[in-house]
Structure 1
Amino acid sequence: MKTLIALLLWLLLAAWSLPLALLALLLWPLVWLLALPFRLLAAILTLPLRLLGAGR
């Protein structure tokens, strides 16, 4: 479902401004790579809580 929403938002942006949509399409992998260490850090920090059952 998230993929469909992302696609629809990108198509809306492409209809509004194609160069901006293409720039977003080219920069998205870079943004994902920059956010990856923070996602890994969050997973490591929340791992003890999940193991202790605090998420239930």
Structure 2
Amino acid sequence: MKLLLWLLLFVLCWPLALLALLLWPLLWLLSLPFRLIGISVEAVFALLRALLLLPARLLGHRGS
């Protein structure tokens, strides 16, 4: 019974696996601009944090 279930699973799922394998590069290319936007936003927040904490660092506070 288990062997039949495994064979059924193999027959039903291999097209999905093949489709995912073929579409993965396309999805990666589509997500690339969003990753670049995320990196840019993270850099802007890091810059703002550095600017806001600059007076404390100049006065000698040691951050974590």
* Segments ≥4 residues shifted beyond 4 Å: none
- Stretches of structure 2 lacking an aligned partner (at least 5 in a row): 1-8, 51-63
* One of 17, 23, 33 as aligned partner of 1:27: 23
The share of aligned pairs that are identical, in percent, is 51
Distance 2:37 2:30 in 1: 12
The Cα RMSD (Å) is: 2.3
Q: Which has the higher contact order (CA 8 A, sep 6+)?
A: 1
- Normalising by structure 2, we get a TM-score of 0.53
Number of aligned residue pairs: give it: 41
- Stretches of structure 1 lacking an aligned partner (at least 5 in a row): 1-13
